[in-house]
Amino acid sequence: MTSSHPPDATLADAGEFGAIAAFTALFAQSSAVVVGPGDDAAVVRVPGDVLVSTDVLVEGRHFRRDWATAEDVGRRAAAQSLSDLNAMGGTTTAVTVGLVAPADLPLSWAQGLAAGLAEECDLVGSSVVGGDLTRGDVLVVSVTAIGHAGGAPVLRSGARPGDVVALVGRQGWAAAGLAVLSRGFRSPRAVVEAYRRPEVPYDAGPEALLAGATAMVDVSDGLLADLGHVARASGVVVDLTSAALPVAEPLQAVGAATGTDPLTFVLAGGDDHPLTATFPSASAVPDGWTVIGSVSEPGPDAEAGTVTVDGSAYDGEQGWRHF
C-alpha cells in the first residue's frame, strides 16, 4: 500500500482531509455511482425499493487490534452490513463509513481498514461512496449499506406453520475462534481466521428470494437468538433438529480443548453471518442449504416466538446480548 505520508504518520499528522484523501484513493467506484466521495452527498443509481442497514463496531467490544489486522477489521465491518441486505434477498450498491478514531491512531492502520472495507465491498460489486471521520477517545467503525432486492424483500415476519428451516454458510466457527483467542491461543487456525474474516454467502440471499423463502435472517448474534426474531415476528414456533446442525471438526476440537459442548458454538455463536431462512417445503430449498428444523403453530408446550431444540427449550447459551 503506497502513501505520500511517512510510515509512522498518525491521523493527527495527516490531518482530517489528508487522511480522507488517503482512504478514498482506495475506493474504486462502480458504474452505479454517479457522484462518489468528495461532495456533500454521494449520488447512486438503485433500482426499485431501497434497502438500508447500519452496523457499528467498537474497539474492545467487537474487535481487538492485537487479535486482528486492520484489513480484518475492515472486512468484518463491511460484512455486517452487507450481510443484512443479503438477508433481505438484496444486494448492496453503495456503502458509507463513519470512523471515530484517536488522534494518535497510525494512518497506516486506518488505510488498512479502508483497504479491508474496499475488499469486502468488491465481493458484491459495491462501492464505498463517502462517510465521515472524527476524533474520539474510542475507535469506532460504522458502516451503512445501501442497495435493493430483485423482488419483494424477504422479511422476518413471513414464516408459516409447516415451513422448513434451512441454513447456508458457516455457523459457529467465529465463536470457536473467539474462544481460542480469549484463552491466548492461535489455533486451530481455521476458526481463528473465521473470527477475523467471515465468509459470507452473498449469493444465497437473492437465491433464497427467487426460491420463495418465506422469512430470512442474518445470523450475527447466534442461531437461537436470530431465529427468535423470526419466530416472534411471525408468531410461530421454530424447532431445530440438533442432529441436522453442522458441527465441523474444528469446532469439535475447540470444544474438546475448552470443555465446551461444540453444539453451543453453532446454536449461540455469532459473527459468521450465514443465512437462515424458512421455505414452504424441503423441495423448495436451494442447493447448498441444509434443512435444520421446522415451523409449527404455538401450543401449550411452546408459545409464539419460541425456538426449541429437539422439541424442548434449550437451557444453554442463547446468543450475544448487547446490553
Whole-angstrom distance between the N-terminal and C-terminal Cα of the chain? 38
Helix residue ranges, H only, 200-261: 204-211, 223-234, 249-258
User: What is the Cα–Cα distance from 54 to 162, expressed in whole angstroms?
Assistant: 33
Contact between residue 219 and residue 171 where contact means Cβ atoms under 8 Å apart: yes
Beginning with the edge strand found earlier in the chain, give each strand of the sheet holding 307-309 in spatial order.
215-218, 275-279, 164-168, 290-296, 237-240, 307-309
Which residues have C-beta within 8 Å of that of residue 212, sequence separation ≥ 6? 279, 280, 284
User: What is the Cα–Cα distance from 291 to 307, expressed in whole angstroms?
Assistant: 15
Q: Is 65 annotated as a binding residue?
A: no
Bond preceding residue 250 cis, omega within 30 of 0: no
Identify each DSSP E strand in 150-257 by its residue range.
Answer: 164-168, 215-218, 237-240
Q: Is 214 annotated as a binding residue?
A: no
What CA dihedral angle connects 268, 63, 126 and 217, to 10 degrees? 10
Residue type, 196: R
Q: Is 218 annotated as a binding residue?
A: yes
Q: Is 54 annotated as a binding residue?
A: yes
Phi, psi (degrees; rounded to nearest 5) at 31: -70, -15
Q: Is 40 annotated as a binding residue?
A: yes
Q: Is 55 annotated as a binding residue?
A: yes
| Three cell numbers written together for 163 | 415451513
Q: Is 13 annotated as a binding residue?
A: no
User: What is the Cα–Cα distance from 43 to 240, expressed in whole angstroms?
Assistant: 44
Contact between residue 274 and residue 168 where contact means Cβ atoms under 8 Å apart: yes
| Three cell numbers written together for 149 | 432486492
Q: Is 220 annotated as a binding residue?
A: yes
How many C-beta atoms surround the C-beta of residue 291 within 10 A?
Answer: 15
Q: Is 287 annotated as a binding residue?
A: no
> What residue numbers does the annotated binding site for Mg(2+) cover?
40, 53-55, 84, 132, 218, 221
> What residue numbers does the annotated binding site for substrate cover?
62, 271, 320
> What residue numbers does the annotated binding site cover?
40, 53-55, 62, 84, 131-132, 156, 218, 220-221, 271, 320
> What residue numbers does the annotated binding site for ATP cover?
131-132, 156, 220
